[in-house]
Amino acid sequence: MIKWGIIGCGNVTEVKSGPAFNLVKNSKLVAVMRRDAAKAKDYAIRHKVSRWYDDAEKLISDPEVNAVYVATPPSSHAEYAIKAMKAGKVAYVEKPMAANYKECLEMIKVSEQTGSPLYVAYYRRMLPGFLKVRELIETRKIGKPLHFSIRFLSPPHSDDFKKPLPWRVIPEISGGGYIYDLGSHQLDIIDYFFGPIKEVSSLVYNRSGLYEPEDFASAGFLTENGITGTGLWDFAAPEYLKEDKMTITGEKGKIEFSCFGFTPVKFVRDGISRYYAYKRPAHVQQALIQSIVDELTGKGTCPGDVISAARTSKVLDMITKK
């Protein structure tokens, strides 16, 4: 039985991940932690968790906890994951893997030294729509893959105009701007489809002046197996330009899909369009968590790996020219 403790039981854990730990086989959520003791207690009561803490180290040292889910902002992923692994416990961290590539490498090093498994919450690798895209690519329904494109344009969030600013646009906490929070998912799924990106050229810019990091990024990519790609991210776009589309083109067809919208996957070949619809699961991390538990209990494998997760952080650092 994998007995989980959560460090940072904030919004992301309310629906996306938290309830899933008690829904997958051979898994149980036994402890939660938040620096605000009242909020930690409230979370534990609402989610029927037996213990709560306001100190991360107390949760890590809890003898019943054998796996730690780090759901804090990226700036503390490495710190808590390393402490958990050194305590002999499994570490599962939110994405991006860490605030920068250097921290990712340190996490991998500690995992190798301690033998403690390390996982990253790139859960799209287990969602049906993305698995369908991968199947269409691997079975050559579009012929030989040639190019991928990422387009994500969004107007500013209402919180971007308030003080204090949201942590996602404070580089010391998030690692960078919104591209670290959202672009990480898109770049990870590209890595899952095509393998490592080896070359990046980019232009980054802050047009809105709402916060310090870039709100615009344009990039060109080349994968190790010769597939080209482009990315366009604009987090201060006019409402009418709002867009969330990824496109895979091949010699004989193309695939279009949304990274965040759970809209049907569109497959086009010979002038004929086919659509594959999939519902948004109640808890989007559940399938990935099940695969982690299955791997830990010797009943399966997890499609994610920390080497590729670290590569995604490296690509983010290259785009933003860290």
pLDDT in tens, 112-130: 999 999 999 999 999 999 9
Q: For the whole model, what pTM was predicted? A: 0.96
Please give the helix or strand (H or E) that residue 292 lies within, else none.
helix 286-296
Instruction: Taking residues 151-173, report their average pLDDT.
Output: 97
Interior angle at CA 285, CA 50 and CA 100, nearest 5: 100
Helix (H, G, I), strand (E, B) or coil at 58: helix
For 88-109, what is each residue's pLDDT tens digit? 999 999 999 999 999 999 999 9
User: What mean pLDDT comes out for the span 303-311?
Assistant: 97
Give SS3 for 51: strand
Q: What is the pLDDT of residue 191?
A: 98
Paired tokens of 179: 């591209």
Predicted pLDDT of residue 312: 98
d(CA 319, CA 322): 8
What mean pLDDT, rounded, does the chain reach?
98
Give residue 257's pLDDT band: very low, low, confident or very high (50, 70, 90): very high
Residues 6+ apart with CB under 8 A from 116: 84, 85, 86, 88, 89, 90, 91, 110
Q: Which residues contact 19 (CB under 8 A, 6 or more apart)?
A: 47, 282, 283
Catalogue all structural domains in the chain, each as residue range(s) with its CATH number: 2-121 (3.40.50.720), 128-280 (3.30.360.10)
Q: Taking a C-beta distance cutoff of 8 angstroms, is the pair 55, 40 a contact?
A: no
